[in-house]
Every structure is written in structure tokens, then in C-alpha cells.
A and B are shown apart, each in its own frame.
Chain A
């Protein structure tokens, strides 16, 4: 961190402390009491709600029990999300290098055979 940034941060933390000092001098007891009452009530209400919510979630789990079987779904899409017809000309699961192109509304998956060019010789 640059020295200038460090100085700015120290000044900002100093300003934060100075503002609290000012607030401390002008704040009345009712202000503090009101804030404390609000915060305590809010925390209490929230604690009750979150506890009830956790028990509600646990109750759902107890009622239904754990899901024991996995849904088995096959990806047998004929069209992709942009409504292109899917045409596979290679084994999608095992081919290492696949080229995907959209030709006349058909999304075509083909094996890509790369000839050694300047690009392919780039060291990664």
C-alpha cells in the first residue's frame, strides 16, 4: 500500500473517531435509550423468528425424511436454448477436441482435427 493511501486511511479512521466524539457530546440519554430499546427488541424478535424458521425447516425434514434416490435424467435434447437443432457427429463424452458450429440453424458437434499452425505451436 502506498504511503499516501496509508495516510488517507489513518485520517479517515481519525475522522470516524472524531465524529463519535462529537456525537457522544451532543447525544442525549433518551437517544441512546431509544436506540438500545430498538436494537434489543429487533434482536429479540429476529431470534424468535429465526428459531421458529429453523424448527420449521427441521420439521419438513423429519416429516419427509432424507431424499434417498437420485433423479436420473438423460440429456437427450434435440434443440438448444436458442432453438438450434443439435446434431452430433462425434462421441461427446470421449472426444478430446470438439468443434461446435451453427450452420443453417443446426448446432453441429464435430471432432476437431487441428493442423500444426503457428497458433497451435504456441507454448502455453
Chain B
């Protein structure tokens, strides 16, 4: 095939409806979603006076704090001690050691002098979902607060979440995970991301009525609701997203509480971060595959916008990769593509600017709870390029795998422990 015929084929393709739709979606979708999230999170913030009143001391129910752990000997002691410092009258702390090969259990035992600390020592490693299911079986409280073993909860975390459960419809409350190891560019970017993408999205989703995920790092659940939906599914790569959808599919309300803070460690190397994100991307694909049934009935209509939004963001990631690959090919054969430019054009700059505006908006909203977050905003200039690009590639590949691969519910997903997590900043 001659170069001239390749050029004419490419020109012809660029006139096609498919190319026009793809390039329009590629340019318009990110701006539209940025606007939607900012506006809707603004509505949520304006409605905040409607948050539940604190409960009187005598009405605070017993809470079981569950900390699943696998090979966490370096951090489990400080997490349990921090959990014991929670300002709440009546609670227990259950550590589930999921067959760790290190001395996780040995680190917990000296802390059991405090009768509130309990240890479930699993001799066989069955994965995080199974560890949490076993702990729920042993929990005394009707409310269970689940946090990661490397997280440090704020002392008021339970008081912030418990009042939501006065409403019988509430099955879960998502907390606000904050990054405590802001030691390098990657971890600072994640700190900004948790405020501006995760936090902003949850606020917006609360206005829509359904929440994407009660993250495994910090969430409180009504035990009877967990039992009602069959607890965590061990075959899911992201058992927390799956559980959130199962609760909402059974018409439990899931809320977001921005003042329920937990300080967590995030990956500090690109390799560990990539592994984590590929798992999340695959989990999203599995959740979409598992929950496609919600379109079979009108009664699940409140979940449908969330599903459509997830599918749209996945399709955008695919479009991004396809269009970028196409443009690279065009330039390699000396054919400047329609709508493409190696130097950002007007729409490119608009996308970039709206993304930065969304990051600024989320940072500002969370600065109320984490004032230090504003200091990290300058790194957000990196987000729309390198970070976004890697995220898009991981979504494109691994969400597709999650969508097409059959889920084996009898094969539990094993722990994805990030041993190159950093230390506190």
C-alpha cells in the first residue's frame, strides 16, 4: 500500500461518523463530567446543614471496629493503639490476622491486656473478603466499622458516622480517607486525587442518591444489612465496590460523611501504585459485569445513572487510548490528523483547565477537614498528563479484562499488600 493511499484512507476515515463521534466524546466528556461533579458537589455542600444531629451519650450504640490484616507487623501495633484512642464510650477492636507469615498476631497480643482488643487468628489465608466475613460473624456490635490495618482513625470518626444509622434505611456510611505519607510527588498526587476525584465524586453521588463505593479503608456498616446481602464476595477484586452495589441493589441507603477521617498510607512507588490501580480497574469491570441486571427492572432505576457514568468513563478511557494511538500513527506516516495537535489546542487547554478546576474544587472542599491539603495543590499540574494517562491505560486494559473474564466466586482474591508503602510525613 502506498503512502498516498494510506493518506487518502485516513482522510476518508476522518470524515466518517464514527471518527466524529469518537473525537467529540473524547473532547467533550471530561469537561462535562468536571462541570457535573463541581456543580453537584456544590449542591451537596450547600445541603450540609441537613446532616444528622449528634446522638446523646446514653444512646450511642456499641460498635465493633474490625481491622483485617495480612503481614502487617510493622503497622498493626500503631493502628490498634490509634483505634483504642477513639473517643467513643463503648466499642471493641477486632483484629483478623489472615494467616500472616510474619509476626502480625504477636504484635497484637500484648495489646490484648486491654479487654476491648480481640484477635481472630486465622491459620489459613483466605483473602481479605473472607477475613472480614469471619470477623463480622464474631462482632458483638450491630454497627461495624471497618478500617485498613495501615490506617489511623481520627478520634471522632465513630461519633461522626454513628448518627447516620438512626435512619433505618441506612446500610453503610463511607468515611473520608486522608493521605498521611505525603512524602513524594506520587503520594501528594494521590492526596489531591482522594480529595478532588474520590471525595468530590462521593459528594456528587450522594445528591444523585447512590454512591459508587464505601472504600475498604474506612466504612461503617449495619451488620444486619451486610448479612442481608450475603457479606463480602471473596471472588471480587474490589470487594468494597461490590458490597456497596449489593447494599444499594437491596435498597439500603449508603451515605458519605466527610468529617469521618482516617489517615492512610498510599503507595510511594509507581510499581506498587500501578498494581493497586490495575486491581481497582479490574474490580470495576467485574462490578459492571455482575450488576448489568439492574437494567432489567425499573425498581433499580436509582442505580442506573451510576452504572451509566461508570460505563461512560470506561468508554472514554478506551476512546482516549484509541484516538491517541491513531494520532501517533497519523503523525508517523506524515498525515496531520483532523482535530489532533501535538501542541495543545483550545479544546485541549479547556480539558486541562477544567481538570485543574475540579482538583482545586475538591481540594478546597476537603481543606475544611485536612487544611494541609492546600499545600499540595501545585503538584496537580502533573495530574492531567502523566497520572491521567497511566490511569486511562490501566482502565482500558484491566477493566476490559474484568468485564470479559468470568468471576470465580469460590476462588478468593488474595491480599495485595503494598510493602513499599511509605512512612508518615
Residues of A participating in the B interface, judged by any CB pair closer than 8 Å: 5, 9, 12-13, 16, 19-20, 22-23, 26-27, 31-32, 35, 38-39, 42-43, 46-47, 50, 53-54, 57, 60, 66-75, 77, 80-83, 86, 92-102, 107, 109, 112, 114, 119-120, 122-124
Selecting from B103-111, B192-200, B279-287, B289-297, the interface stretch reads: B103-111
3 closest A-B pairs (Cβ-Cβ)? A119-B106, A124-B77, A101-B123
B382: which of A12, A46, A94, A123 is its contact (CB, 8 Å)? A12
B350 x A124 contact (CB < 8 A):
no
Residue in chain A with minimal CB distance to B78: A124
Docked pose: A112 CA to B185 CA in angstroms:
45
A47 x B39 contact (CB < 8 A):
yes
Tell whether A98 pairs with B346 under 8 Å between CB atoms, given A9-B381, A66-B167: no
B121 x A97 contact (CB < 8 A):
yes
B126 x A82 contact (CB < 8 A):
yes
Q: List 20 A-B contacts (CB under 8 A).
A: A9-B379, A9-B381, A39-B31, A46-B35, A46-B36, A53-B305, A68-B168, A73-B224, A73-B227, A75-B136, A75-B137, A75-B223, A80-B133, A81-B129, A83-B410, A95-B138, A97-B119, A100-B120, A112-B119, A124-B110
Chain A residues with CB under 8 Å of B137's CB are: 75, 77, 86, 92
- Interface size on B, as a range, is 35 or more
B207 x A96 contact (CB < 8 A):
no
Residue in chain A with minimal CB distance to B231: A81
Docked pose: A23 CA to B119 CA in angstroms:
61
Instruction: Check B83 for interface membership: any CB of A closer than 8 A.
Output: no
B129 to chain A, nearest CB (A): 7
Chain A residues with CB under 8 Å of B32's CB are: 42, 46
Chain A residues with CB under 8 Å of B140's CB are: 93-94
A29 to chain B, nearest CB (A): 12
Instruction: Check B115 for interface membership: any CB of A closer than 8 A.
Output: yes
Chain A residues with CB under 8 Å of B378's CB are: 9, 13
